[in-house]
Amino acid sequence: MTLEKIKEIRKEKRNELDLRINLNADTREKHILVCRGTGCTSSKSPKIIERFREILKEKNIENVRVIQTGCFGLCAKGPIVIIRPEDTFYAMVKPEDCEEIINTHIIEGKKVERLLCKDIDDKLVNRLDELNFYKKQKRIALKNCGIINPEDIEEYIAFDGYKALEKVLTSMSQDDVIKEITDSGLRGRGGAGFPTGKKWMFTKMAEGDQKYVVCNADEGDPGAFMDRSILEGDPHCVLEAMMIAGYAIGANKGYIYVRAEYPIAVQRFQKAIDQAREYEILGKNIWGTDFSFDVEIRLGAGAFVCGEETALLESIEGRRGQPRLKPPFPANAGLWQKPTLINNVETYANVTKIILNGAEWYASIGTENSKGTKVFALGGNVVNTGLVEVPMGTTLREIVFDIGGGIPNGHKFKVAQTGGPSGGCIPEQYLDTPIDYESLTSIGSMMGSGGLIVMDDTKCMVNLAKFYLGFTVDESCGKCTPCRIGTKRMLEIIDKITKGSGTEADLENLEKLAINIKNASVCGLGQTAPNPVLSTLKYFRNEYEAHIKDKKCPAGECKALTRITIDPEKCKGCGLCKRQCPVNAIEGEPKMPHKINPAICIKCRVCLNNCPFKAIS
């Protein structure tokens, strides 16, 4: 397909889809947008789409289209249905709600109030842009997610898709492209934040008869789903960016390494590749130029260590995923020892916007050393869990309380964990810390890929460190001794502490081990594995000491140090706890105080969480 034909599609399709972004568009036609990301899919959004289409067909309504989209971001309210152009936001929709939406909203022109989204103050919100969740966000990487059908290349083209590639191939040299990326200040969104333009230049300058572009989509942090959502909601933007990178460094082949646990992302990216080939955007001599490029998918088996770039390369080559010694770096000797450029999904998702809007525009967003925006997967003990994209420099307080809606159930904020198993905890005194690479590092955490887990005052920091350390022990590839054996010894010490058998000497040994493992491990997994332990020791040493000296878990989370009891003065003998106990550990007659048998109790907290009289502690 010629470039001229692509331009025609862009113009015609954009007119047709104007109501997706223009709230003043002709309201005689409506689009019902339904989230088909992984979260909403698991909550029956495919059935919602099917039901909408059935009803429209039954009622012979022709001016309404039902569109599957990627993630809207506010996952706590899913499945989400948005009706454009009026931008009405319906939350927690079920298949049985579809007929009421069609009858009331589409036919009668009235909103279904019971399905309108409630904001953090319980106020009903009529439109998406009125929600506090979106007010402080700036969507660049996520720009098309929730707007377009990710399985329709013409919808992507309509919203300036492949326009950046057109600009690059027709009016920019390789050095022009790299300069634009460099001047924008874009840094890698997958870990330490290495300057993207510098990495592209190193790979371009490397000598080699064959070069490769690789996309790291091996998103392994617990609670992180940023890359998955981009691939599910806007796969073509990553594909286009890989092509631009290929042109810039002189590569004609690309690979995307995706976790096999992401079936929707894999299916949609493969469809994007197939469509781009069909439209002759991928392939030989693209649009009559000398540039040729093609992309293949490689599936990862879920090894966390394969998020490290050299372990990822080993896996693509068909070997066990273990990190290589560096130098040489992938820019000089990467895939099959050829110069290779590796960036992650979110990094690529910014590229086309930078090319189209200019480096100066992108550099105007964020902080002096951290430009642009960052996507976070906001989870844990926070009201509005979901996908958040904010300018660099936004404070943690703004993300947790203004966007996230604060801590539910009357509890207090305790810590936020960024960077997953590689990061550290951020306590309350740092809530006003701006979120950027340097600021997070200065307080003992890191940006990482973008997982942001919020924890309230019911969480034990010793148990938190144990959880993350257990994860890295399981995921260590075993290549180097400090990581393979050192992290296991650390886990054994923390396990002792959570069981009440730790000593003060254990704390000293724990710190020594952590520092030695950081300094001696081969790759980033081992080098950062001690971070959760070191940061919890730094900010919550008193909790470790309580476990050791008082044989007590202040948060009541470590089961070996916890006893659940019923206050006989408060207990009304309602029997609710007795009926709900999974192991029959509660005894007592109706309307008489009950008791818990400690020999049987498994401390699951079901009784504690459900007692209407707060008699259990």
- pLDDT tens digit sequence for 545-575: 999 999 999 988 888 888 889 999 999 999 9
CATH no., domain 153-363: 3.40.50.11540
> Architecture of domain 373-456 in CATH?
Roll (3.10)
- pLDDT tens digit sequence for 150-161: 999 999 999 999
Pull the structure tokens for residue 584: 């029959």
Give how far Cα 496 sits from Cα of 425, 464, 542, 598, Å: 22, 14, 16, 21
Sequence length of the chain is 617
pLDDT value of position 119: 87
Q: Please give the angle made by the CA atoms of 385, 390 and 468, to the nearest 5 degrees.
A: 50
Residue with structure tokens 């008869």?
209
* Most confident option among 112-121, 407-416, 604-613: 407-416
- Rounded distance, CA 431 to CA 414, Å? 10
Average pLDDT, the chain: 93
* The pairing of beta strand 88-90 with beta strand 81-84: antiparallel
Q: What is the CA radius of gyration of the chain?
A: 26
pLDDT value of position 262: 94
pTM as predicted:
0.92
Residue with structure tokens 């003043």?
24
- pLDDT tens digit sequence for 304-348: 898 899 999 999 999 999 999 999 999 999 999 999 999 999 999
Map out the domains of the chain as residue ranges: 14-131, 153-363, 373-456, 461-549, 563-617
CATH no., domain 461-549: 1.20.1440.230
Pull the structure tokens for residue 374: 């960052």
* Domain 563-617 -> CATH class: alpha beta
> Architecture of domain 14-131 in CATH?
3-Layer(aba) Sandwich (3.40)
CB-based contacts of 93, cutoff 8 Å, min separation 6: 48, 79, 80, 81, 101, 115
The dihedral region occupied by 380, where left means phi > 0, alpha psi between -120 and 50, and beta the remainder, is left
pLDDT value of position 617: 87
- pLDDT tens digit sequence for 147-186: 999 999 999 999 999 999 999 999 999 999 999 999 999 9
